[in-house]
Each structure stands twice: as C-alpha cells, then as structure tokens.
Structure 1
Amino acid sequence: MSETTTGESVLPPAPGAEQYLALAFVNTTIALPGGQFIDLLGTPAATGRWLVEHGLAPAGVDVQEMCAARLRSLREHVRALLSARVAGLPASPASLSAVNDALSGVPATALLYWDEKDGPYRAVPCPTNEILEHALAILAANAADLLTGPDAERLISCESTPCNRYLLRHGRRHWCSTRCGDRARAARAYTRRTHTGTSG
C-alpha cells in the first residue's frame, strides 16, 4: 500500500474509535485478507499526518523515525493490554510499565509558574520538542480510561479473520465494519456448504 493510503480508505473507524482515541491508535495497524498489512504509523511522514489529524500535534510537525518508532512501540503495548482484557488474561508487566511510563512522562496537570510582571499562573508545558511526550501521555491516559471505565465490558476484537482491529460492541455486532461482517458471514456460509457437502 502506498504511504498516502489511510485506514479510512480501507475501513471506516471501528465502533468506539471516535469516543476513544486509544482505539483509533491501536487500529492504526490493519490486517487485510491475503496477508497484507497497512500501518498508518509506518513512516515518519505518515505518523506526523496521523498525529495532526487526531489533534496530537500542530500542522507541519516534523516527526523523526525515532519518534515514530516510540509511538509504534506504545501502540503494541496498548494492543497487548487490550488483548489481555478481551481474553480475560493477566496483563504483561512490560506493557503495563510502558503505559505507566508514558503516563508519567509529562505533567498530567497544569504546573504553577510565576511571571515577574503578572505573578503566578498555571500552564501545561508543551514546547515543540515535547510534542511526542504529550502525545504518548494522552494516548496512554485514554487507554487507561478505556480499560478501567464502564466501556471496558464492551471491548472486543473484530471476529472477522484476519482483521486485527478492536471495537466497542454495540448489541450483537462483533465486527469492526460492514466489510468485515460480510466477510465473516460469507466464511460461515462457505463452511456450512462445505460440511453439508462432505457429510452427505
């Protein structure tokens, strides 16, 4: 896939991704039929576009590969935590540590400053060289909110092979998109036809 390909051109956002930035984040790696993958954070330029589109960086941000790699690393740790939650398994200590490191990497609240002329004021520091740290902290905090909030009970992985996206279940829907639902139904129908044909 070309670098200009976006996940939205392949699949619409998964249910819940508009509500939880962490879902949009983990779903930036997309498994497609035929062993194809799209990684919306696959290059520094693509990572910069994603950060800008999601309000995590100013337009024109210059992302270096080291920063893109740090985001991809956090994404895998958040994916591991979501996977553990969905499967009802213990969380990986390394993934918990990575998310907590991102959470504590920057102040979560506005710090106290003192201006010589105007006196005390509060502000969250965010010079341009700390954009990545803030993005990591925001994404980690959102993942923690999702995992500890009431919507965690609705968190599932898409049940259409080979899709690897996560979503919040609505009713009986277990797929991240209409396309995945159609593929899952077609696979079930094929399996039924195959078993019926061999048992007769």
Structure 2
Amino acid sequence: MSDALTAEPAPPPAPGAEDYLALDFVNTVIARPAGQLIDLLGTPTATNRWLSERGLAPADAGLQEMCATQLRSLREHIRALFVAHVSGLPALPAALSAVNDALSRAPTAALLYWDEKTGPYRAIPCPTNEILDRALATLAANAADLLTGPDAERLTACGSAPCRRYLLRHGRRHWCSVRCGDRARAARAYARRTRPNAD
C-alpha cells in the first residue's frame, strides 16, 4: 500500500492499546466501511515511523521491505492467536511457533555499563543490526503477557463490522471507537426499521 494510504489519520487507540503494545500492533490494519484496508505498516517508511513513535526503533533506522514484511507476518500470527483466544479455539501451531521464535530473538537481560560521569547503569544492548529482532521480541513478549495475564478475559474483537480491531472490554463496551459504536447502533436501528412486522 502506498504512503498516501498509510498517512490517512488512524482512529484513536482502541481501549487497552495504551497498556498493551501488542494490541496497538495488531490494530495497525484498519478496515474502512467501504471495504478499504489501511495498513499502518504498509511500507518500510510507515513501519519505521510506527516503531520509532513507540520507542522500538530510532527514527533513522532505515528499515527495508524485508524488515517490514517480518513485522507484518508477526502481526498476522499474533492476530491469529487473538482470534483463537476470543473464539475459544485452539491456537494455530504456526502462530505459536512464530511468536516463540520472535521471543527468542533478543536477549532480555540488561547488561551493566559504566558512564564516566554518572557511574553504573543497566541497559539492554541493541546494536543496529538487532533493531528488528528487539522489536519483534518486544511485541511477541507483550502479546504473550496479554494472552496469559489477568486482562486476557477482557480481550475481544470490535463488535462493529467491518472493523478488524481488538480491544480490552470495559463493562458492556464492545467497540474500539466512538465511530464504530455509532456505526453499530445505526445498523441496529436500520435493521429494526426495515424488519417486516410479524403481525
């Protein structure tokens, strides 16, 4: 998809996306009512922008199409796990394998460093050639945390077709945005008006 499509304003983050980066990640494909899909990771430039805005890559990382493709692939595997969880179905082995592969790509232990002015500190090293691996591992770990943590039971798909986004349910809310809620209510009202009388 072109940068023009990916530059279109995205809806606000779905409920829970502020707490779970994996939820925000899965929601980077946006379905418009006319059937158009907008992919916020559709190009290497858009992917780099999305990652840098979330602190997963420097703004000048210069990701290539191969990197963007790997991220989009992981996104679809995490989406498949969300679908399985929400639907109460078994997880696809390929999706589990992809997430576990991403989890094992980057070391998790913060190393000890020493700054001559400020003294000791710990940081996880991230050489330039490991930016993608670190981003994949971070996103996979966050998805695993969501699926195995206390918020897993609140994970749900947006209840407004054709939306494909996921959210953490709060009370009775089953929509990712006000726009989707309005669309679902309008569709229900239209269905009631056009339903033939049972008399």
TM-score under structure 1 length normalisation: 0.90
User: Residues 11-90 of structure 1: matches in 2 within 5 Å?
Assistant: 11-90=11-90
3-state SS of the aligned residue for 2:106?
A: coil
Partner residue, 2:117? none
Separation in structure 2 between the aligned mates of residue 9 and residue 121 of structure 1, nearest angstrom:
39
CA drift at 1:125: 2.5
Alpha-carbon displacement from aligned partner over 1:83-112 (angstroms, at most 9, x marks no partner)? 101001100000000000000011111257
What amino acid does structure 1 have at the position aligned with 2:125? P
- 1:77 is aligned with what amino acid? H
Shift of residue 5, structure 1, vs aligned partner? 5.3
Partners of 2:69 and 2:6 in 1: CA distance: 19
Structure 1 unaligned regions, length at least 5: 114-119
Indicate if the aligned counterparts of 2:2 and 2:43 stay in contact, CA closer than 8 A. no
The runs of 5 or more residues in structure 2 that have no matched partner are: 114-119
Shift of residue 77 of structure 1? Answer: 0.2
Residue 117 of structure 1 aligns with which residue? none
In structure 2, the CA distance between the partners of 1:107 and 1:45, relative to structure 1 (3 Å rule), is same
- Residue by residue over 1:119-150, the C-alpha shift from the partner in whole angstroms, topping out at 9 and shown as x without a partner, is x9965221011100000000000000000000
SS in 1 for 2:195: helix
Secondary structure of the structure 1 residue equivalent to 2:34: helix
Q: 1:43 to 1:82 in 2, by over 3 A?
A: same
| TM-score, with structure 2 as normaliser | 0.90
| Corresponding residue pairs, total | 194
Query: Is the CA contact (8 Å cut-off) linking 2:2 and 2:42 kept in structure 1?
Result: no
Runs of 4+ residues over 3 Å off in structure 1: 4-8, 120-123
The Cα offsets for residues 1-25 of structure 1, whole Å up to 9 and x where unpaired, read as 8625568824111000011000000
Task: Give the Cα–Cα distance (whole angstroms) in 1 for the partners of residues 4 and 144 of structure 2.
Answer: 30
CA distance in 1: counterparts of 2:9 and 2:162, whole angstroms? 18
Task: Pick the structure with more helix per residue.
Answer: 1
Matches within 5 A, 1:1-200: 3-4=3-4, 9-111=9-111, 123-196=123-196, 199=198
CA drift at 1:196: 3.5
Percent identity over the alignment is: 74
